[in-house]
Amino acid sequence: MSPRAGLTTERLVRAGAELSDEVGFEQVTVSALARQFDVKVASLYSHVKSSQDLRTRIALLSLEEMADRLATALAGRAGKDALAAFANVYRDYAREHPGRYTAARLTLDPETAAASAGPRHAQMTRAILRGYDLTEPDQTHAVRLLGSVFHGYISLETAGGFSHSAPDTRETWVWIVDRLDALLRTWPPSAPSDPAPAPEPTPRPTE
């Protein structure tokens, strides 16, 4: 009766990524995808192993896309310039592609993660730090700090954590990048001035 729909893993993953941006990553389902292609659900299982497999592939695609943008943005930049460019790629991608961004945060099993674009991200973060005078282990600490700040910020912002209160979030973003730059420049050669006390566990503000 009907000719063939022309499904491929590639097309499914791409459609899944778009769907996730439209309706949220959580709502990306094999069924929804089948509806979009006007095809029976079971048909998709020749192209993706499982629902989980589909989601993982979307995550990998998103990581690649971000890494590509990163590479472009970093080309020819250094120091604070590079830091800001880096930060903005991250934030803009999350705004343009909230579903994909969420997908990229998915926890991958070690082998998959190692084969993903994840390491490229880390590598580029290190590249930025070349503009600052850091030696190990400070450099690694700094890589982690940058990852934490950017991800944390975006996560809180998209979750509506920073309400609609003044000052606006763009201002804060610029401020943070500025402060991070300062933090990375002024370097007290690594010597935890004061062994931080370990009193009790720790919390998380909504603002």
- Residue (9 or 123) nearer to its own copies, CB: 123
List contacts with DNA (CB under 7 A).
Answer: 1-7, 29-32, 39-43, 45-47, 49-52
Among its own copies, DNA, none, what binds residue 89 when CB lies within 5 to 8 Å by partner kind? its own copies
d(CA 204, CA 183): 23
Residues 122-181 that bind its own copies (CB under 8 A): 122, 124-125, 137-138, 140-141, 143-156, 159-162, 165-167, 169, 171-172, 174-179
CA 198 distance to own-chain centroid: 30
d(CA 38, CA 36): 5
199 belongs to the binding site for its own copies (CB under 8 A): yes
d(CA 19, CA 97): 10
Among its own copies, DNA, none, what binds residue 50 when CB lies within 5 to 8 Å by partner kind? DNA
Each as own residue / partner, the long-range contacts of residues 163-171 (CB below 8 Å, 24 or more positions apart, any chain) are: 163/207, 165/207
CB 50 → its own copies: shortest distance, Å? 15
Among its own copies, DNA, none, what binds residue 11 when CB lies within 5 to 8 Å by partner kind? none
Among its own copies, DNA, none, what binds residue 3 when CB lies within 5 to 8 Å by partner kind? DNA
CB 36 within 8 A of CB 12: no
d(CA 66, CA 150): 13
d(CA 80, CA 72): 16
CB 45 → DNA: shortest distance, Å? 4
Among DNA, its own copies, none, what binds residue 93 when CB lies within 5 to 8 Å by partner kind? its own copies
Residues 36-65 that bind its own copies (CB under 8 A): 63
d(CA 184, CA 79): 10
